[in-house]
Structure 1
Amino acid sequence: MDYSTCMLCNPYEKPAQHVIFENKTCVYIQKESEQIVLEGSGLIIPKAHKQDVFSLSEQEWKDSRDLLLKAKKHLEEKHFPDGYSVGWNTGEAGGQSIPHAHLHVIPRFKDEPYAGRGIRYWIKQFENKREVLK
């Protein structure tokens, strides 16, 4: 892969993408385009290109947790969320559209139309049931 074209490998080079916090191995960013619907949402991204969450080093796990806690404090002071949806999408079938590991941190609010519907809500619908091949 050409890492120079990976949209998450170069977080400082995207003008509409703001690094809020960083530590030794990871950054926490917020993208302007996401703020319209997902107010306060952000991503925790390893600085080194890692394909998915299963490729993270022990230090990247620790640093991801560190940034998650900092992001939570920041979001609570700025947006006052009622809850959070936090998750990794891995692989195409798992919803990963960018082949660089990233943790979604999404503040949730009681007054949003889909309040109470978490990460599993959409995939546990009966319409998503697989046909068993015999």
Structure 2
Amino acid sequence: MPSDSDTSNGLIRPSNRWTGLKHRIWTKVADILGFRFAAFRRPKGDRTVTTCLFCHKDDPSLNRVMCENSNFYSRYDNFPATPGHIEIVPKRHVISFFDLSQREIKSAYSLIRQSQQILDRAHSPDGYTIGVNEGVAAGRSVDHLHIHVIPRYMGDVPDPRGGIRQIVPNCDPDAWKNPLDD
């Protein structure tokens, strides 16, 4: 069994799975109280970037990077829907998929394919669901673009038709709160 610091396979395993969640909670507390953590200070400018989880790619306590290219990196999701659930994240802080250049879109798809090959070897899924939550109404929870690559397995939901609609098993969509109602 590899240790938490084992990087022989190119992956970093943080010792505490909940570190990203703790970071987000304390960052929100800091925002409410009006201060920033020194560890996340950057030159004056965009406050969003200083507290953005995805802008701290090189911090292994926040991001478990699987692979990367010049424009994007692939990281394991902190709250995976299935084993191997990853996110493709641009290295520059961008919120919308529609703000990417054509070159960046090609780079994202290239990394999706590279990540898929790694996931095939590591998890042997039967398929994939790939998607972007574009906007709050679509379910975006982090204001930094990320493309979900979710390995799917036969039997992970009773009826996989509809793909994204069924990705969270045993959820009642009627019970979900509409973020626009706030």
On whether the aligned pair clears a TM of 0.5, the verdict is: yes
List gaps (5 residues or longer) in structure 1.
Answer: 129-134
In 2, Cα distance between the equivalents of 1:114 and 1:28? 29
The CA distance in 2 between the partners of 1:113 and 1:90, in whole Å, is: 24
Q: Is the 8 A contact 1:25 1:59 kept in 2?
A: no
Map of 1:6 onto structure 2 = 52
Identity rate, percent: 32
Q: Residue 68 of structure 2 is aligned with which of 2, 16, 22? A: 22
TM, length-normalised to structure 1? 0.81
Unaligned runs of 5+ in 2: 1-45, 177-182
Query: In structure 1, how many angstroms separate the alpha carbons of the residues matched to 2:88 and 2:66?
Result: 10
Matches within 5 A, 1:77-96: 77-96=121-140
The ranges of structure 1 where at least 4 consecutive aligned residues each deviate by more than 3 angstroms after the TM superposition are 125-128
Quote the residue 1:131 is aligned against.
none
Higher relative contact order (CA 8 A, sep 6+): 1
Local SS of the residue matching 1:68:
helix
**Number of residue pairs the alignment of both structures matches:** 124
The answer to which structure has the higher strand fraction is 1
TM-fit CA distance, 1:42: 0.4
Shift in CA distance, 108/115, structure 1 to aligned 2, threshold 3 Å: farther
Match of residue 79 from structure 2: 34
Query: How large is the Cα RMSD of the aligned pairs?
Result: 2.3
Contact 1:108 1:115 in 2 (8 A): no
